[in-house]
Amino acid sequence: MKRHSPYIYSRSRAWALICSSSLAVLGIMACLLWLARDVSAVTPRPSAAAAPPSARLYLGTPAVFTYPLTSTLDICDTFGPRLLTDGVRSRYTFHLGVDWCAADGVPVHAVTTGTVQSLNDDCAGTAACFVHLTHAAIDGQTRYDHLSGVAAGITTGLQITPGEVIGWVGSDGDGSPAYLHFEVHDGLTVTERAAIHPLRTPFLPWTNAVSPTVALAGVYTDSTGMTALVQVTSPYTEPDLSAVSVVVTGTVSASRTLDFEALNAAAVSTAALNDPLAQVEGGDVCLIPTALDQADGYRVTMAFRQLDYGSPTTVTASALDVDGGSATATLELVGGLAMAPPTQTVAGGVGRAVTLIYTLTNRTGAADTFTLTHLSAQGWPASLTPPTATLADGQSVTVTARITISTDREAPDCGLVVAQGTPASAPPMVAGFYRLFTHVPLSGVDVAGPKAGVVNELYTFTATVAPPTTTLPVTYTWRATGQSEVTASVNDVSHAVAWTWTESGVKGITVTAANGGGAVTATHRVTVSVPPAGVSVAGPTAGV
């Protein structure tokens, strides 16, 4: 599976890692100890000496460590919610590490002393080669994925030294850049859900110079409570966003925080982590990421929903990076707009489209022109009618959103249809929220069974649907000449019925298979005849 967007371009950045004079006393002592260490303990790598300890690493700092690659750091995908796209289809995932773009075949080095926990060295035709190391000294683990090959002699249980070559950077072979997928985990016996942001560790050559930015795109209320729409951006060169929070003050106080590492650790499964609706149901937050982009950086829009509020109400949004760099934004609640219904739940087939209809009403006290936009966690496009609406106070308009489910797999979505007034210091805003469940539609159904038979014999007919990856359950409805209708909903791509006919003739059989993505139908015919009751022979019984 591709681990990053293929629409990432090669970049060149110069990075420097220094012991700053502003470090606390302990940091200075650590730097001096690093300078005085026994360099012979590191596998010789003239262009990548071990980095000085970093206060970011809370696992514990190894005595000797280095970087996984000697090339200039080029992060082409970062830790946390992300959007994968091939230019046509897109999908939401939670990325457990960072992708470091580098030339195909560049050596990959172990960052510190460790033991090989697991590996896959069968790299032919796949992007699945990896090496997974445990590091007792820091009570943590590192994982190196997307390798084109694993170094000879690397086996499970082998002791690894800092800087040792364990493999080589690989490529998907589809024109997308080669890269190393690098993960850091907290603990020696935990699952992949304990992954932490690698930029929190000293294993990557970077300097945190810029804090994230945060903006409150709008605050609105509906029958479900108050929603704060927050947009957070980390610089392209420092995609190190860690947590976002909103605080409600006024006659009612409320707060909510979304921490990427905590979200990861709390996930019950990888599937849940990659499900944008899991966070909606568990924390009333719809996460809407964009692909890491050289111009826009790492950007995530978050709809914090069902917040308590009073009147007056002020909302403050805060963003935090892995080093504690922060930014805040404040916005007063401005009412007057309504979008009905406030929430919708719909279903549709993969590769198809669904239509949502809302009513936008202006109760702001003045005429205004409102711009309609669409936000989707899965990055799926929508056509909005009308794209803008000029409404007098008290006037309403019907808004139609036709969302194209541009993916090749079953995946739910959360999103919003947003209406915002004329730009001002605090333009009125409202949105209709939706949950979208997808289905892999049926492409066909085939009936297998006899085409000829005799009365009073039992015959079995089997329906099999395509594709085999279609969404289950499938409901099969059978109809046949002279038989009662049979309906069954089963978690299987096949279903069988058995019938007996007491009269001869051509019997028509029809089966309709249906799931959330649609229905397909097939027919079959069987000719039933009456067998002879017996046979007699006439003729002489004797002769000469």
The CB-side HSE value for 473 (13 A sphere, CA atoms) comes to 8
- For 140, other C-beta atoms within 10 Å of its C-beta total 25
Phi first, then psi: give them for residue 426, nearest 5 degrees: -150, 75
Mean pLDDT, range 41-67, rounded to an integer: 48
Binned at pLDDT 50, 70 and 90, residue 540 comes out as confident
Q: Percentage of residues in the chain with pLDDT exceeding 90? A: 69
Q: Which fold has domain 25-200?
A: Glucose Permease (Domain IIA) (2.70.70)
Average pLDDT along the chain:
86
The CB-side HSE value for 496 (13 A sphere, CA atoms) comes to 9
- E strands, 266-322, are 285-289, 298-307, 313-321
Comparing 395 with 29, which gets the higher pLDDT?
Answer: 395
- Supply 61's token pair: 């700092």
CA distances to 252, 259, 329, 339 from 336, rounded to whole Å, are 20, 32, 22, 10
CA distances to 28, 163, 402, 500 from 31, rounded to whole Å, are 5, 19, 58, 87
pLDDT at 150: 96
pLDDT at 437 over 60: yes
Most confident of 9-18, 151-160, 271-280: 151-160
Q: In the chain, which segments carry CATH 2.70.70.10?
A: 25-200
pLDDT at 57 over 60: no
Q: Which of 241, 501, 314, 286 is nearest to 376 (CA)?
A: 286
Which amino acid, 320? L
Mean pLDDT, range 424-436, rounded to an integer: 89
Q: Which fold has domain 213-332?
A: Immunoglobulin-like (2.60.40)
Using one digit for the tens of pLDDT, what is the confidence trace for 294-344? 899 999 999 999 999 998 999 999 999 999 999 999 999 988 999 999 999
Q: State the Cα–Cα distance between residues 25 and 3, nearest whole angstrom.
A: 40
E strand or H helix that includes residue 311: none
pLDDT at 35 over 50: no
Classify domain 444-529 by CATH number.
2.60.40.10
pLDDT at 80 over 70: yes
pLDDT at 54: 37
Q: Is the dihedral of CA 250, 253, 258, 262 positive or negative?
A: positive
pLDDT at 315: 98
Which amino acid, 101? C
pLDDT at 126: 55
Sequence-ordered list of residues with C-beta below 8 angstroms from that of 7, at least 6 positions apart, any chain: 85, 86, 87, 291
E strand or H helix that includes residue 214: strand 213-222
Binned at pLDDT 50, 70 and 90, residue 43 comes out as very low
Q: Which of 33-42, 135-144, 359-368, 405-414 has the weakest average pLDDT?
A: 33-42
- E strands, 260-297, are 285-289
- The CATH homologous superfamily to which domain 337-439 belongs is Immunoglobulins (2.60.40.10)
Which amino acid, 324? G
Q: State the Cα–Cα distance between residues 377 and 314, nearest whole angstrom.
A: 26
pLDDT at 172: 67
Mean pLDDT, range 74-87, rounded to an integer: 92
Instruction: Work out whether strand 140-150 and strand 165-169 pair parallel, antiparallel, or are unpaired.
Output: antiparallel
Alpha-carbon Rg for the chain, nearest whole angstrom, is 31
Whether the CB-CB separation of 160 and 166 falls below 8 Å is answered with yes
pLDDT at 62: 73
Q: State the Cα–Cα distance between residues 535 and 3, nearest whole angstrom.
A: 74
Comparing 381 with 281, which gets the higher pLDDT?
Answer: 381
Q: In the chain, which segments carry CATH 2.60.40.10?
A: 213-332, 337-439, 444-529
Using one digit for the tens of pLDDT, what is the confidence trace for 176-229? 789 999 999 988 887 777 899 999 999 999 989 999 999 999 999 999 999 999
**N- to C-terminal Cα distance for the chain?**
89
Q: Which of 42-56, 319-333, 437-451 has the weakest average pLDDT?
A: 42-56
Binned at pLDDT 50, 70 and 90, residue 413 comes out as very high
Q: What is the 3-state secondary structure (H, E, C) of 126-149?
A: CCCEEEEEEEHHHCEEEEEEEEEE
Q: Which of 312-316, 517-521, 540-544 has the weakest average pLDDT?
A: 540-544
